[in-house]
Amino acid sequence: MFIRSERLFLRPGWPEDWEDLQRLIGDEQVVRNLASVPWPYTGAHARSFVNLQRERLCPGFMITLPGAAGARLIGGVGFQKTDAGVALGYWIARDHWGRGYASEAARAALSLACTLGHERIVATHFLDNPASGRVLDKLGFRRTGRIVERFSEGRGMVYPAREYELVFDSPGGCADGDDDVPHRRAA
């Protein structure tokens, strides 16, 4: 599966991505914001990730930024099943923070999630990463009011995280039209 947004191209990970992936996500400031990425992040971790078989209804994508020299890898976005439901996850390489790429990539992925028939998507962010909370707010997620303890492989410890959810209207009515944000009903 491939997705094109205004500035980005989302595609599956390819085996040859492992070196770029290791270099970009192998940044302690990036890893500490993620729950399931170990620190230090090794070549073996990157090779394993790009060869991971994903469930059809929980796709994952490399976020690339097309340019004159080709499309450069700048992050990742995807879904996974958790105890709380289908969860959205994303990361952006530090050199690309603050440019709206996480919001743009996640918006495109959420539109696909709605089309795939998901009714509800959950997400969390560690409390010391408010930038991720702003991304979720922009995407229309609502705070559930819960702070949950999540284990962070990168931190090697449990850390508090704010819980969010996005509830879609129904499959087939997945975009508001003007901005491609999936419809949301009150949870």
Q: Which two tokens stand for residue 59?
A: 């796709």
Q: Report how far residue 112's alpha carbon sits from residue 114's, in angstroms, rounded to the nearest whole number.
A: 5
Alpha carbon of residue 144 to chain centroid? 19
> Position 131: which residue type?
A
> What is the pTM for the complete model shown?
0.91
The four Cα atoms 8, 74, 59, 5 give a dihedral, to 10 degrees, of -10
Please give the pLDDT value at position 171.
56
Can you list the domains of the chain with their CATH numbers? Answer: 3-167 (3.40.630.30)
pLDDT score recorded for residue 169: 77
pLDDT tens digit at each of 187 positions of the chain = 899 999 999 999 999 999 999 999 999 999 999 999 999 999 999 999 999 999 999 999 999 999 999 999 999 999 999 998 999 999 999 999 999 999 999 999 999 999 999 999 999 999 999 999 999 999 999 999 999 999 999 999 999 999 999 999 765 556 654 455 555 554 5
- Give the sign of the dihedral formed by CA 31, CA 76, CA 36, CA 33: positive
